[in-house]
Every structure is written in C-alpha cells, then in structure tokens.
Amino acid sequence: MSETKRCTECQTTSSTKFRSLKGEKWKEAENNDLVKVTWREGVLLCNICYMRFVENPLKKGPKRVKITEEEAMDENTADMEGMKVDLVGAIKAMAKILYEREHIKEEGPIYAFDEMRRLFQEIELSLKDFFDQLYLAARPLGRNEQTIERMKKLMVIICYFLASLNNTKVNSFKFDITYYLDSVGTSNEGLNTMANIGMTTTARAVDHRKKKMSDTHGKYVENALVKYSNNAFVLNVDDYHNIHVQRHPDTTDTSWATYMAMIIANPCFTPAIPHNGAINPKIVDYEVIARHLDRQFIVNLGISYHDRSCMQGYVEKECFKDDLINRLTLHSYNDRLAERKSEHHVQNAILIDFVENSLKGVEAYTKALQIVYDQELMQAYLSDHIIPIIADWPGQFFIRKAIAHRLLLNNEIISPFVMSFLPVMSPLHVFLNSRELVFLKNSVFFNEIYKGIFGANKDLGKTP
C-alpha cells in the first residue's frame, strides 16, 4: 500500500496532486523570500498551496514586504521633520485657485491627483507640504500601485470638499457628480438628500444649470463652427432609444419609449473637403468598382498585412512585435484594451442637436440633415465643401437613396442640400459588423457552448 501524502502547509491528504519544492524552483523561491521557516528543500505541498505560496508570487515578481503605518512614518521622518502644515491656509489657497479656475478662467474640474498637485504647487508653493502630508496619509509604502491609484481619486474628492468649506461657489466637481446621478435616473429627493450632506448640488440648481446650457447652446455651436470653419468636418447621425421606461400600455400608446437622434460634428485637423467631384453623378459606377477591385483588392488578396505595408513603405522592413500588434489593433474598439482607452474620447466634438427622431426612412434622415444645414455658418460652408457622414447601414442606405433621387430622378421633394453630405462606412461599423457576422455564421456553435454553461434547456438569442 502506497504511503499517504500530506501537504506540509495545510496538512491535507485529499488533494489529487502534490508537488515537491526543490532544485532550481527552491532556489528561486528562496531568493524571493517565499520560503517559510518550517519548510526544507524538497517540502511536499498540495497543488493549491504550491500555486498560492510559490508559483503565483513568482509570476508577480519579487515579494513586496508589507510595513506598518508606524514604519512608514518612520521612513519619512527625516524628510518631514520640522514640517507643519497650516491647514486653514492651505484650504483658503485651494479655494482661491479653484474659484479663479471655475469662475474667471471658466475651466472644468481636475480629476487627476498628480495634475492637481503639480498645478497647485506651481501657483502656491506653500501647498507642497499639504499635498505631501495628504499623500503620506494614504500609506503609499504599504499599498500596491492599484490601491494607490484609487486613493488618489479619493484625494481629489477630499481637496474639492475642503475647498468648498471655505467657498461654497467652488462647486463644479459637485455639479459633475449631480449631472451623472441625474442622468442615471436618481430622483430629486435623492439628489437633495445628497446635497444636504454636502456631496452634490440640489436638483433645482441642476435644472437651472441645464436650462441655462440649453439657452446658450446655439451660441456654443456658432462659436465652434467659426473656430473650425477652415477645417474638414465629419458628421455623425445616430439614434438613441430610451428603452428604460414603463411598458404598460394605456388607451393611446403601447410603449413610452422615446426615439432620439444625436447629431455630432467632429472637426478634423485637415483642410475642408472641396465639393467638386466628391459625388459621382452615376451614384453606382460599375466601371470604377471593377477597376478598383482589380487594381487594389484582387492583387493584394494573397499578400499579408505586414508585407503589404512594407511594400507601400508604411513600416520598416524590421518591425518590432509590439509595433505590429499596435497597427493591427489601430481600429479595435474593444473597451477591455487598456492601451486604447485614452483614445476613446469626444474632445472637440460639437453636439449640434439632440432631437426626437426615429431615423427610419429618407424623410427622417433628411430632417436630421436639415438641422445641420439650418445653421447659418453651415450654409456658407456647404456651398463650397462637403461633409462625410459616419453612419450605420440604415444611414448609408437612406441618405444614399435621397442623393440618388435628387440626382437621377430630379425629385424636387428632396432638398438639394443633401448632395453636400457624403455617407461613408467607418472602421467602427466595420468592426461591429464583422463581429455580428462571425456570430451569425457560427450561431449553432455558440449556442452549444451556451447550453453547456447554462443548461441544455437554455437557448442563446438569435441576434447578438
């Protein structure tokens, strides 16, 4: 009968796999201070203990020694000796800086602690000691980097709340919190309760600010168009469905869902696109399609992306692996790619309007484009230039249909300004369509996986 194996650490004998810590692995664990006092070379561990105390820590790198708050403070005693922070003076200085930033310079809140620390210390040198003490209070030597990043966000909130103690007009940060809570459906009572404890502004203040923003929105659009009048624009017209509503029908409606259209113009740092020759009068020119298929698509069908890029001189002959991956994920919109999060923004975008519109049919899209054309500056711009429209398949179809009716059939019901807009398919829509196509073509396979996870009686939805 074989000898019963027992884990030295947890004393279990029921594990299906035991591992011995010896040789190079023992030396590696010893060099990283992972070896416990009771262990000897060749110690027998169950698989769970081996992974928990040896393998996983080795993958994470050298073991970080945790220290107590007292030890952390002792290490900084030499640097902080004789330092006395004037808390009242620091709060007054922060309140003054933030007030000037919000009400004189009309700048938005600061969300990054490092940026706030740098800007404030440049303006008021005496705040250096305050920020040093605030940072040390978070015990940076005893916590990992991820925890410290969360603590930095908390420090920013603390600085804004301290400044609002001295000056209640420092409230842009609170307004942003209130806007978010209001957008996710928080009731007025909930907002007022948060305001009473000093975390947000009142619901009435938010309503007043939103009305003010709505009244001045036209001027904002006009100023933005003047600023970028010599640049090219890319227009985005897309629908938004407010589906989080009651579904109980009444005497007149079966649903309270609202169909909205969002119209955004994105200025590009390239010259405006001339109108001449932008739209082919044939709409669908089979000769051009055939020529481009032969010269640009078919000839490159058997050439890899990397080789084709080298032939065109876009990348060097010797290219690092990271650079290749970066180029391949250039138009990847997966929100789990941390490297691309900084690029997912709407900076400089101009929200022209947000109106009720189902965007179903030629008439609906024409009304949306009419809103853009009704801008006085846009009429002068579109007389000589065109604007590409990033649109999904319905947008492509209905806008192109309107252009075709105007050009080929001379349909006077369609306004002539539609020929100043050129619908194009964006990389985002190609990305989404490709994912949908993969799902639809392999739906049987994905359905079997779904059944294996959630049970044989469960079926995966037909649409992604």
Do 149 and 287 have their domain in common?
A: no
Q: For residue 328, which amino acid is it?
A: L
Average pLDDT over the chain, rounded to an integer: 81
Phi and psi angles of residue 258, each rounded to the nearest 5 degrees, phi first: -110, 135
Spatial separation of the C-alpha atoms in residues 69 and 374, rounded to whole Å: 64
120 domain-assigned: yes
3-state secondary structure 83-134: CCCCHHHHHHHHHHHHHHHHHHCCCCCCCCHHHHHHHHHHHCCCHHHHHHHH
Do 332 and 396 have their domain in common?
A: yes
192 domain-assigned: no
Mean pLDDT throughout 167-195?
Answer: 90
441 domain-assigned: no
Spatial separation of the C-alpha atoms in residues 137 and 113, rounded to whole Å: 14
For residue 188, give the nearest of 214, 173, 209, 207 by alpha carbon. 207
Give the CA angle between residues 187, 189, 195 to the nearest 5°.
110
Do 287 and 354 have their domain in common?
A: yes
Spatial separation of the C-alpha atoms in residues 328 and 42, rounded to whole Å: 47
Express each pLDDT in 377-409 by its tens digit.
999 999 999 999 988 888 889 999 999 999 888
Do 234 and 292 have their domain in common?
A: yes
Do 340 and 417 have their domain in common?
A: yes
Do 232 and 377 have their domain in common?
A: yes
159 domain-assigned: yes
Express each pLDDT in 279-334 by its tens digit.
888 877 888 888 888 777 777 777 776 676 666 554 444 556 666 666 656 556 66
**Domain's final residue, options 149, 170, 191:** 170
pLDDT bin (cut points 50, 70, 90) of residue 1 is very low
113-139 in b/e form (b: 16+ CB < 10 A) is: beebbeebbeebeebebbbbbbbbebb
383 domain-assigned: yes
Express each pLDDT in 57-107 by its tens digit.
887 665 444 444 454 445 444 444 445 778 899 999 999 999 999 999 888
76 domain-assigned: no
For residue 29, give the nearest of 50, 2, 8 by alpha carbon. 50
Do 38 and 112 have their domain in common?
A: no
Beta strands at 43-46 and 273-274: parallel, antiparallel or unpaired: unpaired
Domain that holds residue 146: 82-170
Give the three-class secondary structure for 319. Answer: coil
Q: Is the dihedral of CA 248, 250, 254, 256 positive or negative?
A: negative
* pTM score over 0.85: no
Distance of CA 421 to the CA centre of its chain: 28
**Maximum Cα interatomic distance, the chain, rounded to a whole number of Å:** 96
203 domain-assigned: no
Give the pLDDT of residue 332.
Answer: 63
Spatial separation of the C-alpha atoms in residues 173 and 184, rounded to whole Å: 17
Spatial separation of the C-alpha atoms in residues 407 and 416, rounded to whole Å: 9
Do 112 and 247 have their domain in common?
A: no
Do 318 and 243 have their domain in common?
A: yes
**Domain's final residue, options 155, 170, 185:** 170
Do 318 and 376 have their domain in common?
A: yes
258 domain-assigned: yes
The number of folded domains in the chain is 3
Do 399 and 365 have their domain in common?
A: yes
Do 249 and 378 have their domain in common?
A: yes
**Domain's final residue, options 123, 140, 170:** 170
